[in-house]
Structure 1
Amino acid sequence: MPRRGFQRRALSLTPLVDVIFLLLLFFMLTSTFSKFGEIDITAAAGGSGESARGAKFLQITEDELRLSGVAVDIDALADSLSDERVFVSLHTDIKAQRMIDVLVVLRSIPNISMTVLR
């Protein structure tokens, strides 16, 4: 009895397309689209130094916060400031999340004016 050669059946892509469609539908329906909170930032501009009188200077680095040269904890930052003008200086190696965390705390303080220095 002679042996016949192996014949391959044609592969149907219909089940694969159905599975991809179901996965796409699943991820579209289960994902959430949230609007990120906006933080109002005023960029520093050139001008006279008179507007800086009575202002505090906040330096943000990856490891610490310094308010007018004194190290301060992020939790105590809101207690250290009130109704003041704050100039915020960002260190070059700071992560975006660190900056946002500090700016959210500053934004929660009523009647504060902050300017981010370049």
Structure 2
Amino acid sequence: MIDVIFLLLLFFMLASTFSKKTELELVSSTEGPASGEQPHVVRLFVALQGLKVNGHPIAEAELVADLSHKASKPNTIIAVELDDEVSTQRLIDVLLKVRAVSEARIRVLEPS
């Protein structure tokens, strides 16, 4: 009996996934900037086959460096716009990269 329990325990241990889950917190907010100054907005357009920062195409490998440079100004917001065909997984992949830019706030724009 103990052998069966041990084999079941071993099976479930090996069958389970040990990958680390990554959490991405999304907060819906309507409040404006804390100070009276206008925010510096960087627009990131996410398409199925590419990215654009402020209307200029950019490679995904250069995204974090470019956004870090643009977000060096105080009170920066990265506004993320999506193409209609973009999947949720693609959005999450891009948001995980954008999250590396710690100086800026990230806002995902609703489609109009």
**TM-score of the superposition, structure 2-length normalised?**
0.67
Q: Indicate how the Cα distance of structure 1 residues 54 and 37 shifts in structure 2: closer, same or farther if over 3 A, else same.
A: same
What RMSD over aligned residues (CA atoms) do the two structures have, in Å?
A: 2.9
Counterpart position of 2:96? 104
Q: How does 1:1-118 map to 2 (within 5 A)?
A: 26=11, 28-30=12-14, 31-32=16-17, 34-43=19-28, 45=30, 53-82=39-68, 83=71, 84-118=76-110
Moved over 6 A (4+): 22-25
Contact 1:106 1:112 in 2 (8 A): no
CA–CA distance in structure 2, aligned partners of residues 35 and 86 of structure 1: 27
Q: 5+ residue gaps in structure 2?
A: none
CA–CA distance in structure 2, aligned partners of residues 52 and 58 of structure 1: 19
Could you give the per-residue CA deviations for residues 7-62 of structure 1, whole angstroms, max 9, x where no partner exists?
Answer: xxxxxxxxxxx9xxx77972x22112545211233446487xx9764211111111
Mark the structure with the bigger radius of gyration.
1
Could you give the per-residue CA deviations for residues 39-88 of structure 1, whole angstroms, max 9, x where no partner exists?
Answer: 233446487xx976421111111111111111111111111112331000
Percent identity over the alignment is: 31
